[in-house]
Amino acid sequence: MPSIHSLIAENIGRSYGDVVAVANASLSLHPGEVTALIGPSGSGKTTFLRLLAGMERPDTGEIRSGQTVLASPGRHVPIETRKIGLVFQDFALFPHMSVLQNVMFGLRELAKSDRVRAAEKWLDQLGLTHRRDAYPHHLSGGEQQRTAIARALAPQPVAILLDEPFSGLDPSMRDRVREVALSAIRAAGVPALMVTHDANEALVHADRIAVIEQGSILQSGAPETVYRHPVSLAVARALGPVHPLEATDLPREWQDTLDRRSDTFWYRPEAIKLGSGIELIVKGSQLAGPVTELALALNTSAEIFAACQPGTPLTPGDRVSATIEPSLVFDFQSKSI
């Protein structure tokens, strides 16, 4: 197996006329790690993926696999020779080929028998051996997905890029398919980029997270780091709800626990913890799956929002005791609000 390098994008940019799709974006994808690229619609995440894949040429910047330059102002390795595996949201399997033939498609350089053997190895790894001769339209969504991943990994690519790979799947099977798919990708040891708009998926399943907005990578790092230490409001928002809190509305007991630097704090709803602390009146209560979303009155005009699991159902007018967890309260000072 050839040695595997990081896939590195340095300051890449791409514009369409006056529209800047990707601007000065830098990101390193490391072997064996799944990096989630998260951002709202139109943030440039798909263009970024297309630039890495070689479907588009960057106007500026450089893309490298280790020391090998794949794209730069003077050089463009086309998609056909770039050896980057792609998995699409709609799987894009070849409808006229069986599962085995799909997986063998990228193995043309091998002898026929080697091709079959290599493809079968991937089918085995992704639990598709029994579907070897089935055609795509006979497969379930999860099987199609796994075929697409086997097909992308089989030619031993220098990296694999996945565009919303799990959003087309039925929610009931999504977790299991994701498990199998991502562990196969990690086992292959290649750098992987997974484009997603699902913050939860990124936080739970990725090794690293990169947040993109308006074509720029705002922050990248371990999920825990990015979630707890967002560098900007945009990053904080990309990974889950945050709410503003004016410093003047803060109860005095809470002010002591927070290190005040600006007039507005931003907090995640789970920063508000029930059980002890100051007493607040419930203004509204809404069940939202495993947690309950509460609106609590801080004073006559200000409310805070909490996501918690109260022992008994609460109704407006009830009183609860609450504290605030400082690590989930962000203070972006003056920038980017």
Partner 1 sequence: MPRWMPSVSAIPPAVMIGLVGLPVFAAIYAGLVAGDGATWAHILENRLTPYTLTTLATLILAAIMMLGLAVPAAWMISQHDFPGRAFFSWALILPLAMPGYVMAYAWADLMGVAGPLQSQIRAVTGLTAREYWFPNLFTVPGLAFVLASTLFPYVYITARAAFSMQSLATLDAARSLGARPLDLFWRVALPVAMPAILGGLCLALMEAAADYGAADFLGIQTLGVGIVRSWTSFGEPNTAARLALMLIALAAILLVTARLYQGQKGLHQTSTQWRTPGRTQLPRPIAVAATLLCAMILIICFVAPVLRLLWLASQSATRTVDLAPLIKSTLALGVLGTSGAFIAALIFTLAAKRTQTMKLATRLIAAAGYAAPGAVLGLGALFILRETGQALTGGIAITLLIWIYISRFTSAGVEPMQAALDRLPRNLDNAARSLGSKGVRQFFAVDFPLIAPGAFAAGLILFVEILKELPATLMLRPFGWDTLAVKAHAYATDERLAQATLPSLLIVFAGLAPVLLLSWRLSQTERA
Binding site for partner 1 (CB under 8 A): 53-55, 78-86, 88-96, 105-106, 108, 135-137, 139, 144, 148, 151-152, 155
Neighbouring C-beta atoms of residue 306, cutoff 10 Å: 27
In sequence order, the β-bridge partners of residue 212 are: 217
Residue with tokens 């990974």: 239
141-153 and 112-125 helices cross at what angle (nearest 10)?
A: 130
Give the three-state DSSP class for 179.
helix
Closest contact distance (angstroms) between CB of 148 and partner 1 is 8
Q: Among 126, 248, 262, which residue's Cα sits nearest to residue 188?
A: 126
Quick one: 91 or 254, whose CB is closer to partner 1? Answer: 91
Minimum CB separation of residue 55 from partner 1 in Å reads 6
Q: How far is the CB of 138 from partner 1 (least distance, A)?
A: 9
Q: How many CB atoms lie within 10 A of CB 204?
A: 12
Q: Cα–Cα distances in Å, from 265 out to 192, 213, 221, 283, 304? A: 35, 22, 23, 21, 12
Q: Give whichever of 62 and 164 is closer to partner 1, judged by the CB atom.
A: 164
Task: Report the nearest approach of partner 1 to the CB of residue 67 (Å).
Answer: 22
Minimal distance in Å, beta carbon 128 to partner 1? 15
Which is closer to partner 1, CB of 155 or CB of 223?
155
For residue 169, the minimal CB distance to partner 1 (Å) is 13
- Nearer CB in complex with partner 1: 102/219: 102
Q: Which is nearer to partner 1, 44 or 269 (CB)?
A: 44
Quote the least distance from Cβ 229 to partner 1, whole Å.
35
Cβ proximity of 6 and 193 under 8 Å? no
CA max distance for the chain: 77
Looking at the DSSP assignment, which residues form a beta bridge with residue 75? 72
For residue 222, give every residue at least 6 positions away whose Cβ sits within 8 Å of its Cβ, in sequence order, or none.
207, 208, 209
User: Minimum Å distance from CB 96 to partner 1?
Assistant: 4
Closer residue to partner 1, CB minimum distance, 79 or 231 = 79
Decide whether 83 or 273 has the Cβ nearer to partner 1: 83
Adjacent-strand bridge partners of 282:
296
Judged by CB, which is closer to partner 1: 53, or 193? 53
- How far from 7 is each of 23, 77, 158, 192, CA to CA, in Å? 18, 14, 8, 9
**Smallest separation (angstroms) from partner 1 to the CB of 64:** 18
Indicate the residue among 20 and 79 with the shorter CB distance to partner 1. 79
Helices (H) and strands (E) in the chain, counts: 10, 18
Instruction: Determine which helix (DSSP H) or strand (DSSP E) holds 121, and give its type and residue range.
Output: helix 112-125
262 in Cβ contact with 236 (< 8 Å) = no
Residue 31's closest CA among 180, 196, 160?
Answer: 160
- E strands along 153-232, which residues? 159-163, 192-196, 208-213, 216-221
